[in-house]
């Protein structure tokens, strides 16, 4: 009983995840179990949507309270919003939509918050500083591999925290375009292997290199990793990518893609309900249903 249908009443708040494909998404499980545990009269369903513009023009007959938005709709959905969080607008992608009491839609990008907060906490845990202090990313050289949706989220998020951003991508033109937007430097993916103007850099992989089924691949040489303090991989299938394994062997701080996934969910929960997410429950469900 994934959707708790027995609990739905006329005043139940209904949320949904819009995507195609969407059936594999674990968000309904995470949100419904959390709503149940906290005692919220809410339900969260899968919404298989082909044409997202048509969906937003016609769905209003159902009184949805909010949406999550996933592949391939994160960019087009942005055009259907009444208000967009400024950084989400810069990134050019949204994944979280809240319907306000007057029926208007406000949207956010929680991917960048999830990734950046995971990286910040990884650095803080290693140097023992408290979460209240300023961002440990300030002034750091932050290398983003990839210039797609996830690459943009990381690049803008890092820039916002005061990091100096470098974007490296297989297609150099895309790296250049994104680097210009965040006031950073562009490289090709090959050039990253010889790029070490300083030590203690941060690396974030957002390319699909190393993703299942190509688990033997890595986007950067092991040798190059020695110039970094921390390595993050946005890939979460598999959880432990070759990149992260090699970074661990080099004694680096590693941050898993699953951590970004879980934390972006915390932010969505907060935007939907105004409450802190039941973080332990989210983590437990994610690991139990991995
Ligand atoms: P996402 O939303 O996950 O970022 P995306 O927008 O499709 O997905 O972006 C995929 C990223 O992985 C791009 O940076 C892509 O590089 P190109 O811009 O050159 O296409 C990168 N990528 C995908 N397959 C790759 C491969 N085999 N080698 C190197 N980079 C790859």
**CB under 8 Å to 198, separation ≥6 — which residues?**
141, 227
Q: Measured from the CB, is residue 189 less than 6 Å from ligand 1?
A: yes
On the question of a common fold for 5-109+260-288 and 112-255, the answer reads yes
For residue 239, what are its two tokens? 């959880």
For residue 102, what are its two tokens? 């007057």
What's the confidence (pLDDT) of residue 60?
67
**pLDDT at residue 61 above 70?**
no
Residue range 5-109+260-288 in CATH 3.40.50.10860: yes
Tell which wins on pLDDT, 198 or 127: 198
Sign of CA dihedral 155, 159, 163, 168: positive
Looking from the CA of residue 214, the nearest atom of ligand 1 is 27
Report whether 164 contacts 139 (CB < 8 A). yes
Looking from the CA of residue 206, the nearest atom of ligand 1 is 4
Beta-carbon count within 10 A of 128 CB? 6
Report whether 90 contacts 156 (CB < 8 A). yes
Looking from the CA of residue 146, the nearest atom of ligand 1 is 14
Residue of 129, 111, 110 whose CA lies nearest to 120: 129
pLDDT in tens, 268-288: 999 999 999 999 999 999 889
Q: How far is the CA of 59 from the centre of ligand 1 (A)?
A: 33
Q: How far is the CA of 72 from the centre of ligand 1 (A)?
A: 14
Q: Using alpha carbons only, what angle is made at residue 118 by residues 114 and 123, rounded to the nearest 5 degrees?
A: 150
Q: Measured from the CB, is residue 171 less than 6 Å from ligand 1?
A: yes
Looking from the CA of residue 74, the nearest atom of ligand 1 is 2
Q: Provide mean pLDDT across the span 22-27.
A: 90
Q: How far is the CA of 163 from the centre of ligand 1 (A)?
A: 23
Q: Measured from the CB, is residue 115 less than 6 Å from ligand 1?
A: no
CA nearest ligand 1 atom 8, residue:
148
Q: Measured from the CB, is residue 28 less than 6 Å from ligand 1?
A: no
For residue 94, what are its two tokens? 């949204």
pLDDT in tens, 97-134: 999 999 999 999 999 999 999 999 999 998 887 776 79
Confirm whether the ipTM is greater than 0.90: yes
Report whether 169 contacts 230 (CB < 8 A). no
CA nearest ligand 1 atom 3, residue:
150
Q: Which of 13, 37, 54, 74 is catalytic?
A: 74
Q: In the annotation, is 74 catalytic?
A: yes
End-to-end CA distance of the chain: 19
Domains in the chain: boundaries: 5-109+260-288, 112-255
**CB under 8 Å to 290, separation ≥6 — which residues?**
239
pLDDT in tens, 75-100: 999 999 999 999 999 999 999 999 99
Quick one: pLDDT band at residue 141, thresholds 50, 70, 90?
A: very high
What's the confidence (pLDDT) of residue 290?
75
| Number of alpha carbons in the 13 Å side-chain half-sphere of residue 85 | 17
SS3 per-residue string spanning the chain: CCCCHHHCCCCCEEEEEEECCCCCCCHHHHHHHHHHHHCCCEEEEEEECCCHHHHHHHHHHCCEEEEEECCCCCCHHHHHCCEECHHHHHHCCCCEEEECCCCCEEEECCHHHHHHHHHHHHHHHHHCCCCCCCCCCCCCEEEEECCCHHHHHHHHHHHHCCCEEEEEECCHHHHHHHHHHCCCEEEECCHHHHCCCCCCEEEEECCCCCCCCCCCCCCCCCHHHHHEEEEEECCCCCCCCHHHHHHHHCCCEEECHHHHHHHHHHHHHHHHHCCCCCHHHHHHHHHHCC
Q: Provide mean pLDDT across the span 253-268.
A: 96
Report whether 192 contacts 221 (CB < 8 A). no
Q: How far is the CA of 33 from the centre of ligand 1 (A)?
A: 34
Q: Measured from the CB, is residue 19 less than 6 Å from ligand 1?
A: no
Name the CATH superfamily housing domain 112-255: NAD(P)-binding Rossmann-like Domain (3.40.50.720)
């Amino acid at each position: 009983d994934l959707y708790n249908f027995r609990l739905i009443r006329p005043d139940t708040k209904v949320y949904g995840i819009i995507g195609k494909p969407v059936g594999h998404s674990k968000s309904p499980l995470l949100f419904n179990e959390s709503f149940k545990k906290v005692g919220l009269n809410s339900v969260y369903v899968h919404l298989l949507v082909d044409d997202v513009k048509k969906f937003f023009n016609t769905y209003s007959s159902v009184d949805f309270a909010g949406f999550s938005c996933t592949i391939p709709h994160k960019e087009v959905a942005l055009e259907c919003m009444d208000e967009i969080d400024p950084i989400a607008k810069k990134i050019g992608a949204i994944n979280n939509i809240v319907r306000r009491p007057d029926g208007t839609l406000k949207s956010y990008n929680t991917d960048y918050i999830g990734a950046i907060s995971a990286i910040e906490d990884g650095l803080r845990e290693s140097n023992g500083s408290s979460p209240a202090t300023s961002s440990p990313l300030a002034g750091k050289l932050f290398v983003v591999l990839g210039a797609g949706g996830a690459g943009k989220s990381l690049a803008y998020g890092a820039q916002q925290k005061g990091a100096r951003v470098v974007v490296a991508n297989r297609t150099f033109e895309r790296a250049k375009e994104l680097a210009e937007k965040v006031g950073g430097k562009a490289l090709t993916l090959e050039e990253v292997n010889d790029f070490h103007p300083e030590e203690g850099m941060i690396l974030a992989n957002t390319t699909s290199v190393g993703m299942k089924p190509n688990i033997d691949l890595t986007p950067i040489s092991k040798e190059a990793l020695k110039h970094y303090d921390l390595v993050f991989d946005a890939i979460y299938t598999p959880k432990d990518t070759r990149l992260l394994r090699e970074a661990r062997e080099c004694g680096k701080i590693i941050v898993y893609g699953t951590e970004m996934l879980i934390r972006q969910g915390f932010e969505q929960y907060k935007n939907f309900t105004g409450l802190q997410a039941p973080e332990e429950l989210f983590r437990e469900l994610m690991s139990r249903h991995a």
